[in-house]
Amino acid sequence: MVLKQVSKVNVRENMAIRAEREIVSGSYVNLGIGMPTMVANYIQADKKVVLQSENGLLGIGRSPYANEVDPDLINAGKETVTAITGASYFSSAESFAMIRGEHLDLAILGGMEVSESGDLANWMIPGKMIKGMGGAMDIVHGAKKIVIIMDHVTKDGHPKIVKACQLPLTGKQVVDRIITDRAVIDVTSSGLILQEIARGWTVEKVIASTGAELSVSNQLVEAAF
């Protein structure tokens, strides 16, 4: 697949493709609402992966084609999905028992803010209408690894990677890696480390658009998006 940075849609697809590389064959994975759900469409055929949804589905497949849509088969974001052979259905109570029992190897979630210490804010903006807090507060503490996929800055150009989150927290010190449209950044005990940089961006521009101190890895590489 050739990756071209020609539109916002393509950038998001490429971010999802990059996030797929975080998934290890044999793992159980939860994909958060929004952009993370796109990752299901790019999981490599040779990977044995089981996708879990907090609304009670173990074994989510790719997004359905028009002739495959089943309005009763949805993920936690109420998007229609497919189910792989051997998938199972159960109550949300059992689903959260899986999450709280630390049976998820990885969760790929969206984010509104991530702090330099790995705090995550992703469930609400004060004053904005929300449908509910969802399951992220349980997921960030139940999954063994947390990867956040989000835009590097807001629509107004303000950094989403910050020294300290200003929005209500989903979890403290829970994020392991951040994938944005500009970079791949690790959250470590020594601070944020820039590991990959997107095509068309410089280290200086990424640092300038980040609201927290950012160190540069000695093995910095160009990301494929």
Task: Name residue 100's amino acid.
Answer: R
Active site residue 54: yes
Backbone angles phi, psi at 148, to 5 degrees: -105, 130
Query: What are residue 178's DSSP bridge partners?
Result: 148, 185
Instruction: Quickly count: other Cβ atoms within 10 Å of residue 37's Cβ.
Output: 22
Parallel, antiparallel or unpaired: strands 83-89 and 161-162: unpaired
Q: Are 124 and 167 in contact (CB under 8 A)?
A: yes
Q: Where are the alpha helices (DSSP H) in the chain?
A: 8-20, 92-100, 136-142, 203-208
- Rounded Cα distance between 60 and 78, Å, is 13
Q: Contact, 5 vs 224, CB < 8 A?
A: no
Q: At 85, is the secondary structure helix, strand, or coil?
A: strand
- Longest CA pairwise span in the chain (Å): 50
Q: Which two tokens stand for residue 4?
A: 């071209």
**Token couple for 178:** 């951040």
Catalytic hit among 13, 20, 22, 54: 54
Whole-number Å distance between alpha carbons of 184 and 15: 10
Active-site residues, by number, are 54
